[in-house]
Structure 1
Amino acid sequence: MKTIMLASKRRQVISGLNKFLRDTFSLEKVASFADCLAMLRQKRHDICLLDLNLIVKTGQLPESTEITSKLQNIIEAAAEIPLVVLADANQLRTAVQAVKAGALDYLCHPIAKQEIDLVLHNLSERLAIRSELEYLRSHFWKAEAEDLVRTSSSTMRSVYESIEAVAPTKANILINGDTGTGKSLLAKLIHLHSNRATEAFVSVHCGSMPDSLVESELFGHEKGAFTGAERRKLGRFQVADGGTIFLDEVGTITPNAQIKLLQVLQEGSFTRVGGEQEISVDVRVIAASNEDLKKKAENGRFRKDLFYRLNVFPLELPELKNRRQDIPYLADHFLKKLNQKYGKDIKKVSANVLNAFQGYDWPGNIRELENLMERAYILETGKLLSSISFPTELMAITPQDSSPDQDLGDVTLAEVRKRAVEEVEYRYLAKILEEHKGRIESCAKHAGVTTRQFHNLLTKYGLKSKDYR
């Protein structure tokens, strides 16, 4: 049975819709804007019905800036979930704006049976199309990749559709995106879904190699080719023969290495450093850059002919702050990985944490999210990844639409009290560490405990005195 989230406080609306829908849909009711937003981000429902009265304050004009902003937040959070707005006669303008912005349809209050039947028919068609698309996608993506390709971002949907088209081919690919946006992960996805999936995937971080060793690492060297070359070395291209090589930060390689790379792309062959024998390889090249490689080529800092050889099929990865609707998916994926790695069996990330994530700018992108979650996972003692395990400065960034007690319904009173005490203790310790510039004896005296007890508290909360000196 399909599930509908009904966001309304009006008894008349709730009872009317319950009467019309109870035989064909399962209804879950929420009575606040914040709860509606939080539930949408959990992606648990097939449909959302939003009563506009939930976001209209008494005496407020229906088309006010605040309402427009709240509606936009709901529409973005709904993403692939069909959204229907319920409007009074004086709210029709807002309802039409909602449909133009991405809502599927609107209903007028009081609701007529014929009207709701028509909307439900449209919903059924949309759900059928979505199911067909999901079926087709599931037959392309392998089981181990299904978590990674979940998205509510139109930009990322385009990226994944492009991968479906290009992965089975031999085309070279250039992935552009800021540091930490997941370029390496995308390259592995492409290889996994290519015809070379059973062959080697060789990853090379070009930016981390000394200039003098780039050619040797990529193409190998003969014994005695240079000081320290005591034996023949196979290059990464030869190791990747038959498979895929991923060249991260390709824009950093030396001019000489660029010439050899161009030769491999054009002719499928190269010579080792200090060697004369031409070696043929069949390697698919996926390159990545966190800077504008085209601009570098135009400025003469990267070979133009090499750029065009690499840029056969470009892919652009957005920053995490531009795909915030995917944060719950990514957090869920990382939590599963952490449970496999550490075995704590933490069930989920709290709604408060997810709300704080939505308000943060993520300068380190997906990599920063993964690192923050691993640190919090190590510190967490319960079955819920809660705000107490994350840095206070991150948890202090709370969007206006958040609700401080959204995740409390799943825990006992004892757990609520424990969390409250821990959060206050954490903030208290951080504050006195800052005031006393990390001096343990001074902090312990201020707190009225022994230095040993204070050390134990710092260990418990993952705080380090040196960070405050």
Structure 2
Amino acid sequence: MRKIFVITGTRDKLSSVADKLQSGRARVEKSERIPEIPSEERSAVDTVVVDLNSLLGNSQSVDRALNDLYSKFPSASVVVLAGSDQSQKAVEAVKAGAFDYLTLPVGREELELVIEKARQADIRHSELDYLRDQFWGDEYKDVVNTKSRTMQEVLRKVRQVADTGTTVLLSGETGTGKSLIARLIHAHSGRRKKTFINVHCGAIPDSLVESELFGHEKGSFTGAIKRKIGKFELADSGTIFLDEIGTISSAVQIKLLNVLQERQVQRIGGESAIPLNVRVIAATNEDLGRMCADGKFRQDLFYRLNVFPIVLPPLRDRKEDILHLSRVFISSFNTDLNKNVDSISPEVLDAFMEYDWPGNVRELENVIERACILETGSQLTRASFPVEFFTDAAPRHHTDTEMPLGPARQAAIESFELDYLTRLLTSTGGRISPAASKAGITTRQLNKLMHKHGLDKKLFK
């Protein structure tokens, strides 16, 4: 049975609209203000009927107000009720994504008609979703299952570009899933049966990047004891994914530009050019346009890479996907860790929706893994998560006055170190060198601290 939520600021108007919708075909709930509902129930609402004043509240922006409403009802079609003097704002709401609007006072027949139109549209969208699922196949069904409108637009672009040879530039914060989207593009291209080569440019020492990408001949430099085939050659006829492309040096930028222009590569120390048929996907968590303006990245190379840009949203802008992603990770860790977790407590889910997720999807995966390891029952509870997820939590470092000062101070230091290292390694994707650099310590010191606290860099990749 469909669920309809009616929201108006006037009790008489609220009852009038809700009564017109009461029937055996739908369950109708009503509220005088936009309600706070539990995270696990937010996707159950099919249609929201809201008057314009309640929608806008203190906001002057229709677009922002609708986004706030969709964050609470991610699966709902929105029907706006507007006064006769509010038609311009109502039209703005439809342009911003609302399904339709009606002018007050509204009759039963026209209200039921627009609700039925919304139901039919939902059916059509479900059929389209099914066809899209058929396109993606079973292997990627968890990846493409999203309630986020922004992420749906990302996937639409992926479908458009996948079966071309076009160069793609993926941008977005660390941990948003750029590597996964690159594999998704390759898997749905004509090159799917060929090689996919993943090169993490930021993890390769500057002195070795050129050799890794383009290869070298024996004796071309000190230590070149045999010929090395570069990643571009290995990816011939397939796809090469250049992650963190913004980290490569000026010299490598020049050679990469030449490879993209000429579609051929020359090994270091080599005399002949080797023709290439390779699809290039690059990714960055930096603003390459700004880097070009600052003289840190070649503008002509940027244009070569930015043929088909796709921007991945941070997790804080797609919170409607958190429950689904959490379930996917729990299922995976149940298998890997031999656990039997089947749910997350409502308190934890609410905390997840309030948290800002600076490490994005990767951070969510890491905290779920940690919680699955710690949890002894079938439900992930508050006790298995870091205290910063809970806004009503006590201070992070609880002071135990029953302990002598020395041990209490040491316990606080160790608690701080663990929290700091977890956040640091999350921000760098588990890469030791940049993490040590950000912390202002040596890689050896960082490794000792990680060993002390039982942290493995693989948990943060």
Does the TM-score normalized on the shorter chain lie above 0.5?
yes
Instruction: Work out which of the residue numbers 67, 72, 77 in structure 2 matches 1:77.
Output: 72
Is residue 224 of structure 1 aligned with residue 186 of structure 2?
A: no
Structure 1 85/166 Cα, relative in aligned 2: closer, same or farther at 3 Å? closer
Is residue 382 of structure 1 aligned with residue 384 of structure 2?
A: no
- 1:431 alignment counterpart: 398
Instruction: Work out which of the residue numbers 263, 267, 272 in structure 2 matches 1:272.
Output: 267
Instruction: Work out which of the residue numbers 257, 261, 266 in structure 2 matches 1:262.
Output: 257
* 1:215 CA displacement: 1.1
- 1:43 alignment counterpart: 43
- 1:211 alignment counterpart: 206
Structure 1 378/256 Cα, relative in aligned 2: closer, same or farther at 3 Å? same
Is residue 239 of structure 1 aligned with residue 234 of structure 2?
A: yes
Q: Is the 8 A contact 2:323 2:349 kept in 1?
A: yes
Distance in 1 of aligned mates of 2:295 and 2:410: 57
SS in 2 for 1:4: strand
* 1:307 CA displacement: 1.7
- Following superposition of structure 1 onto structure 2, how do residues 103-122 of structure 1 map, counting pairs within 5 Å? 103-104=98-99, 114-122=109-117
Distance in 2 of aligned mates of 1:434 and 1:312: 61
SS in 2 for 1:246: strand
Distance in 1 of aligned mates of 2:290 and 2:330: 38
User: What's the TM-score once normalised by structure 2's chain length?
Assistant: 0.73
- 1:123 alignment counterpart: 118
Cα deviation 1:380-439 (Å, max 9, x = unaligned): 222222222111121226xxxxxxxxxxxxxxxxxxxxxxxxx9xxx7995245995995
SS in 1 for 2:398: helix
Cα deviation 1:249-308 (Å, max 9, x = unaligned): 112212332232222212222122222243222211111112222232344322222222
Instruction: Work out which of the residue numbers 194, 197, 200 in structure 1 matches 2:192.
Output: 197
Distance in 2 of aligned mates of 1:287 and 1:435: 55
SS in 1 for 2:274: strand
* 1:371 CA displacement: 1.3
Cα deviation 1:169-188 (Å, max 9, x = unaligned): 00111112222222112111
Distance in 2 of aligned mates of 1:353 and 1:278: 57
Give the letter aligned to residue 37 of structure 2. L
Give the letter aligned to residue 3 of structure 1. R
- Following superposition of structure 1 onto structure 2, how do residues 261-340 of structure 1 map, counting pairs within 5 Å? 261-340=256-335
- 2:23 alignment counterpart: 21
Q: Is the 8 A contact 1:204 1:247 kept in 2?
A: yes
Which one is further off, 344-353 or 98-107?
Answer: 98-107
Unaligned runs of 5+ residues in structure 1 are 57-61, 398-422, 445-461
Q: Is the 8 A contact 1:211 1:254 kept in 2?
A: yes
- 2:431 alignment counterpart: none
Q: Is the 8 A contact 1:433 1:443 kept in 2?
A: no
Structure 1 110/291 Cα, relative in aligned 2: closer, same or farther at 3 Å? closer
Distance in 2 of aligned mates of 1:213 and 1:442: 44
Structure 1 169/63 Cα, relative in aligned 2: closer, same or farther at 3 Å? closer
Structure 1 103/277 Cα, relative in aligned 2: closer, same or farther at 3 Å? closer
Larger Rg computed on CA atoms: 1
SS in 2 for 1:174: strand
Q: Is the 8 A contact 2:42 2:74 kept in 1?
A: no
Cα deviation 1:112-133 (Å, max 9, x = unaligned): 7535532332223322331243
- 2:156 alignment counterpart: 161
Is residue 187 of structure 1 aligned with residue 182 of structure 2?
A: yes
* 1:30 CA displacement: 8.8
Q: Is the 8 A contact 2:18 2:28 kept in 1?
A: no
* 1:78 CA displacement: 1.7
- 2:366 alignment counterpart: 371
- 2:415 alignment counterpart: none
- 2:444 alignment counterpart: none
Unaligned runs of 5+ residues in structure 2 are 412-421, 423-448, 454-461
Q: Is the 8 A contact 2:40 2:346 kept in 1?
A: no
Q: Is the 8 A contact 1:71 1:98 kept in 2?
A: no
- 1:138 alignment counterpart: 133
Structure 1 385/214 Cα, relative in aligned 2: closer, same or farther at 3 Å? same
- Calculate percent identity across the aligned residue pairs: 43
- How many residues are aligned here? 408
Is residue 351 of structure 1 aligned with residue 318 of structure 2?
A: no
User: What's the TM-score once normalised by structure 1's chain length?
Assistant: 0.72
* 1:80 CA displacement: 3.5
Q: CA RMSD in A?
A: 4.3
* 1:373 CA displacement: 1.6
